Amino acid sequence: MFKEIINDEKIFTLIEETKDYSVSEIRVIINKALQKKGLSLKEVAALLNVKTPELTSEIKTAAKKIKEEIYGNRIVIFAPMYVTNECINDCLYCGFRCSNKELKRRTLSIDEIKEETNLLTRMGHKRVLLVCGEHPKYANADFVAEAVRAVYSQKDSKNQIRRINVNVAPLSVDDFKKIKKEGIGTYQMFQETYHRETYEKMHPSGPKSNYETRITAFEKAFSAGIDDLGAGVLFGLFDYKYEVLAMISHCEYLEKTIGVGPHTISVPRIEPALNAPAAGNVPYPIDDEEFMKLVAIIRLAVPYTGIILSTRETQQLRAKLIHLGVSQVSAGSKTNPGGYEESEHNMPDEQQFAVGDFRTLDEVIKDLSQNGFIPSFCTGCYRTGRTGIDFMAITKPGLIQEFCHPNALVTFKEYLLDYASEETRNIGEALIRSELEKFTNNEARKNAEKMIERTQNGERDIFC
Ligand code: SAM
Ligand code: SF4
């Protein structure tokens, strides 16, 4: 069965077979990708083998075009919330690993989770990714469910967290049902590496050492009613060409078996972490050029799957990557439990890994707006039931524009009115005006204008 998900022999053969594709063969593949129907594994392998700067640049140009056609200039914004750094696994790359005795362990109480939520909402966030280590006592499904409830319970006159995605270790079907019941959005889980031998080396003990449990987690989540899934690879553990092909195989397998592929793909790269040998000495380091190329290839291979980039990467690289296919970014992130408090807890010895982009949310929003991107806090799809198979039915014919653009503008407007600095507000208001002028469909423009006007007049949380 596992060979059906990831067939190593096939992947390595494809990498070998496509090593010497000619320039014209590669251009045929790029042109096919521009039709936004995705690529076969063999075609993806051929693109991964591209070495020349000219063809790499053509791949990036195509990724930019596809991204603009499907996602427009919107970038969805979220922040992670770490609720515990207790963990019984010993992943060689992670600061939370159980053998890291120098890490200060902390599990937030429900009151502290509410306080972190309030800090995030006061920054202007609307979407949270709840993250924790794996621990039967501190991070079990009941705790995660209670934490989700606590986040959703916090409201002030203007704002609340409207969508919680979770990144937690694989659960049983019953436990997945418990967290689904609380109204989670995406269940995100990274395979880390699809290469079994490397997987076993990197996860020497604890429940995570079981490759099968991890690779079958999405099917379990799906059978518990979670149809919004987020996949990912931790780049740097093994050869990136293999990892990209394996991840695409996993997506294909899910489409075939449960009828829906991942809604998002995350592309974390290993960052420095306290007492984590594989983070200090990355087994397969990927330089920035290769990283940009692989993100662009993912955009070509699965055009309708969101690509998520975290603050692991620097401001400079993030600026380049959002042109190449990234559709969601985190901003103002802290990777330690209680990290949003202004207190002594903001210490490196409580963090999972070191972030590369330290800017505040407002600085990120200003920068995006100055560069013509619409920061979106939209949660419309999830709340109108446009997820999973329904979501695919909407996105595939490209109807996403009809909902996403007006909704993005409205949530951006909310941010500008309620939380932005004056400078960001001025830049943002000008951007909204110019975006409204770009609408070609009069009715859609009128509808967006009306929603924005209602927001200006004090209404909140309007979406279509
Ligand atoms: N503990 C759960 C698990 O491992 O699935 C869920 C959360 S874990 C805190 C989230 C992700 O952080 C991991 O899946 C891994 O890909 C990533 N991560 C761990 N160490 C990292 C590092 N040093 N640099 C970048 N990302 C890292
Ligand atoms: Fe624990 Fe997850 Fe870190 Fe592994 S990656 S040590 S499971 S928190």
- Give domain status of residue 288, yes or no: yes
Distance in angstroms (rounded) separating the CA atoms of residues 144 and 135: 11
What is the DSSP code string of 391-420? HHHHHTTTTHHHHHHHHHHHHHHHHHHHT-
To the nearest whole percent, how much of the chain has pLDDT over 90? 82
DSSP state of 376: E
Dihedral angle of Cα 131, 99, 269, 316, to the nearest 10 degrees: 80
Question: What type of residue is 106?
Answer: R
What pLDDT does 463 receive? 83
What pLDDT does 386 receive? 65
**Strand, coil or helix: what is 237?**
coil
Q: Residue 94 C-alpha to ligand 1 middle, in angstroms?
A: 6
- Give domain status of residue 404, yes or no: no
Phi, psi (deg, nearest 5) at residue 255: -60, -40
> Which ligand 1 atom is the nearest neighbour of the CA of 134?
1
> Which ligand 2 atom is the nearest neighbour of the CA of 133?
8
Which amino acid residue places its CA nearest to atom 5 of ligand 2? 94
To the nearest whole percent, how much of the chain has pLDDT over 70? 93
Q: Residue 159 C-alpha to ligand 2 middle, in angstroms?
A: 32
**CB of 134 closer than 6 A to ligand 2?**
yes
Mutate to test the pocket of ligand 2, among 83, 96, 105, 350 (most ligand atoms within 8 A of CB): 96
CB burial of 423-444 (b: ≥16 within 10 Å; e: otherwise) equals: ebbebbbebbeebbeebeeeee
Distance in angstroms (rounded) separating the CA atoms of residues 368 and 194: 34
Q: Out of 92-101, 201-210, 227-236, 390-399, which region has the weakest mean confidence (pLDDT)?
A: 390-399
- Give domain status of residue 29, yes or no: no
Other Cβ atoms within 10 Å of 217 Cβ, number: 19
CA distance to 322, 346, 367, 462, per residue, from 360 (Å): 18, 15, 11, 26
What pLDDT does 158 receive? 81
**CB of 167 closer than 6 A to ligand 2?**
no
Query: Domain limits at 103?
Result: 68-393
**CB of 98 closer than 6 A to ligand 2?**
no
Mean of per-residue pLDDT scores for the chain: 92
Which amino acid residue places its CA nearest to atom 8 of ligand 2? 133
- Give domain status of residue 350, yes or no: yes
The answer on pLDDT for 401 being more than 70 is: no
CA distance to 187, 265, 459, per residue, from 130 (Å): 10, 17, 28
Assign residue 247 the CATH number of its domain: 3.20.20.70
Among candidate residues 278, 286, 418, 273, the one with its CA nearest the CA of residue 354: 273
Q: What is the mean pLDDT of residues 79-84?
A: 96
Q: Out of 59-68, 205-214, 231-240, 347-356, which region has the weakest mean confidence (pLDDT)?
A: 347-356
Q: With contact defined as beta carbons under 8 Å apart, do 431 and 369 qualify?
A: yes
The answer on pLDDT for 89 being more than 90 is: yes
The answer on pLDDT for 394 being more than 60 is: no
- Give domain status of residue 250, yes or no: yes
Mutate to test the pocket of ligand 2, among 87, 131, 352 (most ligand atoms within 8 A of CB): 87
Q: What is the mean pLDDT of residues 105-115?
A: 97
- Give domain status of residue 409, yes or no: no
Name the band, by pLDDT with cuts 50, 70 and 90, for residue 356.
confident
Q: What residue ranges line ligand 1, CB within 6 angstroms?
A: 93-94, 131, 133-134, 167-169, 189-190, 192, 234, 268, 270-271, 273, 276, 279, 312, 352-353
Which amino acid residue places its CA nearest to atom 4 of ligand 2? 91
Q: With contact defined as beta carbons under 8 Å apart, do 375 and 332 qualify?
A: no
What pLDDT does 439 receive? 87
Name the band, by pLDDT with cuts 50, 70 and 90, for residue 392.
low
Q: Out of 67-76, 184-193, 205-214, 389-398, which region has the weakest mean confidence (pLDDT)?
A: 389-398
Distance in angstroms (rounded) separating the CA atoms of residues 41 and 23: 18
What total number of domains does the chain contain? Answer: 1
> Which ligand 2 atom is the nearest neighbour of the CA of 352?
3
User: In this structure, are strands 229-232 and 127-132 parallel, antiparallel, or unpaired?
Assistant: unpaired
Q: With contact defined as beta carbons under 8 Å apart, do 85 and 105 qualify?
A: yes
Distance in angstroms (rounded) separating the CA atoms of residues 191 and 170: 10
The answer on pLDDT for 385 being more than 70 is: no
Q: Residue 29 C-alpha to ligand 2 middle, in angstroms?
A: 38
**Tokens for 272?**
């420095």
Query: In this structure, which ligand is nearest to the CA of 237?
Result: 1
Q: Residue 265 C-alpha to ligand 1 middle, in angstroms?
A: 14
Query: In this structure, which ligand is nearest to the CA of 308?
Result: 1
The answer on pLDDT for 454 being more than 80 is: yes
- Give domain status of residue 35, yes or no: no
**Strand, coil or helix: what is 260?**
coil
Q: What is the mean pLDDT of residues 354-382?
A: 90
Q: Residue 131 C-alpha to ligand 1 middle, in angstroms?
A: 9
Query: In this structure, which ligand is nearest to the CA of 277?
Result: 1
Distance in angstroms (rounded) separating the CA atoms of residues 365 and 377: 11
Q: Residue 75 C-alpha to ligand 2 middle, in angstroms?
A: 28
How far out from the chain centre does Cα 78 lie? 9
**CB of 87 closer than 6 A to ligand 2?**
yes
**CB of 199 closer than 6 A to ligand 2?**
no
- Give domain status of residue 421, yes or no: no
Question: Model pTM?
Answer: 0.95
The answer on pLDDT for 396 being more than 80 is: no
